[in-house]
Amino acid sequence: MNIVVCIKQTPDPEHFSKITIDPTRGTIQREGIPSVINPLDRHALEEGLRLREKFSGKVTAISMGPPQAREVLELALAMGVDEAILLCDKAFAGADTLATAYPLAGAIKKCGTIDLVICGNMSVDGATGQVGPQLAELLDIPHITFVSNVEFRGRRSLVVKRELEYGYLKTEVELPVLLCVVKSINEYRLPTVIGIMEAMRKEIKTWAACDIEATSETIGLAGSPTVVTNIYERKVERKREILKGTPEEMARQTAAKLHELGVL
């Protein structure tokens, strides 16, 4: 089985409070914010590795980003993927979700015949959940989002459990297919010392726009149909009132105030 897992480097969610917005460019200021692999992408990697271990085959991790995005691919190699590819080119800069999907699709097509593509359901920075479905459309294969379980039925058929707001939906689909997974699908493994040592001996291929035959009309700012035209900081002002007295007195004051406001 030939599996591709798409991963992304994102700001560390534990440091989101330090992120600011550039009012001129309308972009996130990430300077000084540690970067990590997108949390859901770790579960995507784990699912790809589990399927390879069960059915044999190859797992390739692909990421698009600046040179420092190699770090997430090094993690993927340490976890056990067979091959890692970094899409790195200044021409990719400023891409929206569609202009991100085009290079990923070009890279996957260059990898040859693919049975399964796995992505995290969304990234913690953009949280659009659009890249996976857009990528599937460009590859002309079906896709399923919010995937929490995958079972094979025969050699080329999957039964996929898709989480819904008030339950789940089971769908049968034929390979090739793209799956966008959620956190509950598995518990991801941590790299072992041996895995880290083996990763140091593996090559991370770097492909530019010309390597995947990407046209300027489909990548970067020029290939992005959506642009940020304006941003603003929403400031919420709240009325604050400090109650005094014993706990019983403050409880009565609170109840009276809530009655006055029509809450109770």
Report CA 150 to chain centroid distance, whole Å.
19
What are the pLDDT tens digits along the chain (264 aa)? Answer: 999 999 999 988 888 777 777 766 666 677 778 899 999 999 999 999 999 999 999 999 999 999 999 999 999 999 999 999 999 999 999 899 999 999 999 999 999 999 999 999 999 988 899 999 999 999 999 999 999 999 998 888 999 999 999 999 999 999 999 999 999 999 999 999 999 999 999 999 999 999 999 999 999 999 999 987 777 767 778 888 888 999 999 999 999 988 888 887
Peptide bond into 13 cis (omega under 30): no
pLDDT tens-digit series, residues 55-67? 999 999 999 999 9
Residue with tokens 């002309």: 140
Position 90 scores a pLDDT of 95
Domain ranges within the chain, ordered by starting residue: 2-212
Per-residue pLDDT at 85 = 97
pLDDT given at position 27: 65
In 3D space, the residue among 100, 64, 60, 54 whose CA is nearest the CA of residue 76 turns out to be 60
What's the whole-model pTM score?
Answer: 0.85
Determine whether domain 2-212 maps to CATH 3.40.225.10. Answer: no
Query: Longest Cα pair distance anywhere in the chain, in angstroms?
Result: 73
Which residue, among 106, 158, 96, has the nearest Cα to 131 in the 3D structure?
Answer: 96
pLDDT at 236: 77
Per-residue pLDDT reduced to its tens digit, 6-44: 999 998 888 877 777 776 666 667 777 889 999 999 999
| pLDDT score, position 233 | 67
